[in-house]
Amino acid sequence: MQRRDFVLAGAAALSGAARAQHPASHAAPQPVPSSAEPYARLQGGVPHHMTPEQESQRVTDSPAPRGPQGRWAARAALPLPRSEMAWATAAQGRMHVVGGYGEGAVNRDYHHIYDPQADRWLDGAPLPRGANHVAVAADGGRVYALGGFVEQNRRSDTNAYVYEIAANRWTPIAPLPRPRGAAAAVVLDGQLHLIGGASEPAAERASVGWHEVYDPKADRWSARKPLPGARDHVGCVAHGGLIHVVGGRFNTFEYNTDLHHVYLPARDTWEPRAPLPTARSGHGLVVYRDRFFAMGGEGGFLVGGVPRQAKVFGQMESYDPVADSWQRHAPMTTPRHAVGTAVIGDWIYVAGGGAVLGGSVQSAVHEAFTLG
């Protein structure tokens, strides 16, 4: 498949897509134009127009009590339609989105960096190897990329890297003790926690509850108490000295859950909290104004590759950790799953993601939410 078959909007967009996959060698990330096409099919990597049947998968109703609605606004589209990077992270006022599906392949080494002040994307140093569902987290001037799948949502590896923002360079760190993808990564007190995910054998692709912690100073991993209810594609945040894991799936999106657990590091134990109002997986979860905001996700069945009861969630629901309660807000303008999500300033940025159930359609859509 030639790259010219993917972008049909002119030489500028073509050049941007080329740089997105094969970044030139440079000392600092360079600007890259936004995609002229909002959607693309994984099969063939060609532009795609959503059908009425596909748009009917979108759902936004939430059973949670109404809260302040807030508003959504469009932002610069990603350099190309992509999904299944599964999460993003913010560092030094910018959002980093790595790996995923795009341009007809599932093992991309993309590293796109969003600058909200200029409302533009930069092309960062690519991952040392392409993968999807890579867990990411940032601490100071570093971004960590952990594990991932090298096939379509399966065949995980133990690769782990750290990205030095000042040098625009990735370096290997101690590999994961066990291979997994679609895990959650979060930094707490200078330690990097890797929780849940799915592992081998590839044919089974079973969820795991593993909880392992990386010490950057010692470059060493150690074990902690596993997550109750093994699952992957969860939402995960650190707040107030605790770690919250929300939602996710048992093996596939047919078995989404509303489970919400909090990890208490002083006791190395987990406790339940108020469940997520809309059971889902592949959603974003961020801390914004001392609440946890969950958006997007997917659910349903695939029978012979054909969607059944397919849902792409657009619900925006938030959790108050003091009151242990949820409320709802204005839903996403464009529901998606496996999005890149991060908070910078007073905005929640939600970039890319799957436009339909499963990984068949990627998006370059980028929208931001604020309570104003």
Q: Token pair for residue 166? A: 């000042």
The residue among 153, 186, 145, 130 whose CA lies nearest residue 253 is 153
Partners of residue 274 on adjacent β-strands: none
CA–CA distance, 272 with 267 (Å, rounded to integer): 14
Q: Token pair for residue 344? A: 């910078």
CA–CA distance, 316 with 235 (Å, rounded to integer): 13
The reported pLDDT for the residue numbered 34 is 98
Helices (H) and strands (E) in the chain, counts: 2, 33
The two beta strands, 306-313 and 58-59, are parallel
Torsion of CA 272, 273, 279, 285, to 10 degrees: -110
Cβ pair 116, 94 in contact under 8 A: yes
Q: Please state the pTM of the whole predicted model.
A: 0.92
Q: Token pair for residue 15? A: 């050049």
Cβ pair 181, 147 in contact under 8 A: yes
Q: Which helix (H) or strand (E) holds 365?
A: strand 361-370
Domain boundary assignment for the chain: 3-370
Provide φ and ψ at 54, rounded to 5°. -70, -40
Q: Token pair for residue 12? A: 């500028």
Which pairs from 299-308 meet CB under 8 Å and 24+ separation?
299/253, 299/254, 299/256, 299/357, 300/57, 300/253, 300/254, 300/357, 301/254, 302/357, 302/358, 307/57, 307/356, 307/357, 307/358
Work out the angle at residue 287's Cα, subtended by the Cα atoms of residues 281 and 293, and round it to the nearest 5 degrees. 45
CA–CA distance, 179 with 59 (Å, rounded to integer): 34
* DSSP conformation letters of 271-315: EE-PPPSS--BS-EEEEETTEEEEE--EEEEEETTEEEEEEEE--
The reported pLDDT for the residue numbered 9 is 37
Cβ neighbours of residue 239 closer than 8 Å, sequence gap 6 or more: 287, 290, 292, 321
The reported pLDDT for the residue numbered 160 is 98
Partners of residue 125 on adjacent β-strands: none
Q: Token pair for residue 322? A: 């003091």
Q: Output the tens digit of pLDDT for each of the chain's 372 residues.
A: 333 333 333 333 333 343 344 444 457 999 999 999 999 999 999 999 999 999 999 999 999 999 999 999 999 999 999 999 878 999 999 999 999 999 999 999 999 999 999 999 999 999 999 999 999 999 999 999 999 999 999 999 999 999 999 999 999 999 999 999 999 999 999 999 999 999 999 999 999 999 999 999 999 999 999 999 999 999 999 999 999 999 999 999 999 999 999 999 999 999 999 999 999 999 999 999 999 999 999 999 878 777 789 999 999 999 999 999 999 999 999 999 999 999 999 999 999 999 999 999 999 999 999 999
The two beta strands, 191-195 and 184-188, are antiparallel
CATH T-level assignment (fold) for domain 3-370:
Neuraminidase (2.120.10)
Token look-up 């309570």 returns 371
